[in-house]
Amino acid sequence: MEGPASGEVPASVVPRPVVWERVEGLSARTAHVGSLPRTDALLEANKDHAEGRLSDAGLAEVVRTETDAVVARQADIGLTIVNDGEYGHAMTEKVDYGAWWFYTFERFSGLEVLGSEQAAEARRPRPAGKLELDAMTSRRDWVAYAYQDPTSGIHLASAPAPVIPAVTGGLAYTGQQIVARDIAALKAALERAGKPVAEGFLASISPAAAARIGNYHYEDDEAAVWAWVEALREEYRTITDVGLTVQIDAPDLAEFWDQFEVEPDLQDYRRFSTVRIEALNHALEGIDPARVRYHMCWGSWHGPHSADLGFDTIVDLALSVRANGLSFEAANARHEREWRIWKDVELPGEKYLIPGVVFHATNVLEHPELVADRIERFARLVGPERVIVPPPTAAWAGASTPTSPGPSWSHWPRAHASPPVGCEARGGLGRGFAGGAAAGAARSPVVGLRARSSSSPGICSTACMMPSARG
């Protein structure tokens, strides 16, 4: 997994542990946000499995082997808290805008890919007095700027539409075998790396983010969110019951703000979001908050982000989640300035911050001193022992970016060079879209779903991608 130049990282771009020299008492814990570049072997195995040429057992063996390697590499560069690179979230292309989200499509029943005719026939009226999301393509930022112009430099401009199912029946969790495979692979890799289970984490989507797909079964979007709660609870519990931490990928809190054609009243949006936080907390009930980290972001795709909501307007909601860890973007042009909110916001109880101090959607290598500046700000405001940061010796080079396809182990990719899964230190779209990294990338196929016969078999219409599936 070499960088674009392939070879040794120049000593000039390997950071010194400057922040540890500056900030006395800084936590020795180091981490990243989740999704790491998929290997060629894993991509090929996922493709063969999706097309019926590789058995479940065969895929599990590849996942186990590649997870061993990615955990070892994380440990080698100084990460104390590691994960499986999200290798269990199937991808068949090096760039996939939505692996953090699309993985759910093969783990739940009640989903179906609809053609445009079926979607149109099943639309329902908007419920009175409630906010419901509009189509992804109706985002105010996307409408205001040239998101569809391939010369704009915006990653989404030339990207093909993803195939996304809708909820057409009762939701139920069917991913027991897959999550058990991922847990077994990570636990075995942790043991080989000499790390305790408590230092491993797996990512799982939030109920609200999962519920953004079309809903043709439940009374309204709110009812669909609560149905996802019951279905996802099993995945959260399965991960944490073995001693691992679950990272809740929840772009919904910040990123949904822009998915209304008309900007909503802030208090109405906070009420909308509060319901979804309450739903998540219900799903996490009975789980030790020390075994949960909450990842929020603004989508983090490469675009203007003109309609991003200020962190200060929702930070209290983020802190109300039953999770000790809070992960968020803290190094991009729209949100780096928001470190200042921690001058006035008290970090409760046992909570700690995982600020995204290395930006992924750029091929500019941030200087170690700049990254140290970002870390130091948070450490001085909330206490150095309550900040988890990138490792002091991780190579800040070989970044995976829109102009270089090689994996990044410094600009943590969720571009993901295998696109984004997180926003702060991943490359690409981030958890806020249907995925995200480089331009023009093909999406992974929807595994285990068949399209109903329609004028466009197998292709989800725009209406299917509307979380509310209504006219």
Rounded to two decimals, the pTM is 0.83
Q: How far is CA 410 from the centre of its chain?
A: 18
pLDDT at 126: 75
Gap between the Cα atoms of 290 and 245, Å rounded: 8
Q: What is the C-alpha to C-alpha distance for residues 460 and 115, in angstroms, rounded to an integer?
A: 6
Tokens linked to 471: 């006219």
pLDDT of residue 416: 28
CB within 8 Å of 396: residues ≥ 6 apart: 13, 14, 15, 358, 365, 366, 368, 371, 410, 411
pLDDT at 369: 86
Q: Determine the pLDDT at residue 77.
A: 84
Contact 407, 438 (CB under 8 A): no
Q: Is 123 exposed, middle or buried (0-12, 13-18, 19+ CB in 10 A)?
A: middle
Q: State both tokens at 218.
A: 């439940």
Cα 361 from Cα 371, distance rounded (Å): 15
User: Strand order of the sheet with strand 245-249?
Assistant: 82-83, 200-205, 245-249, 292-295, 325-329, 352-356
Rounded Cα distance, 89 and 102, in Å: 8
Q: What's 94's DSSP letter?
A: S
The H or E element that residue 191 is part of is helix 176-192
Strand partners, 166: 112
Please tell me the predicted confidence (pLDDT) of residue 390: 67
In a structure prediction context, what are the per-residue pLDDT tens digits for the chain, which is 471 residues long? 333 343 444 444 434 456 667 777 777 788 988 888 899 999 999 999 999 999 999 999 999 999 999 999 999 888 899 999 999 999 988 877 788 999 999 999 999 998 877 776 667 777 777 899 988 888 899 888 877 777 776 666 566 677 889 999 999 999 999 999 999 999 999 999 999 999 999 999 999 999 999 999 999 999 999 999 999 999 999 999 999 999 999 999 999 999 999 999 999 999 999 999 999 999 999 999 999 999 999 987 778 899 999 999 999 999 999 999 999 999 989 999 999 999 999 999 999 999 998 887 777 888 888 888 999 999 999 999 999 986 543 333 223 333 333 334 544 433 222 222 233 333 323 333 222 222 223 334 444 443 333 333 332 333 333 333 333
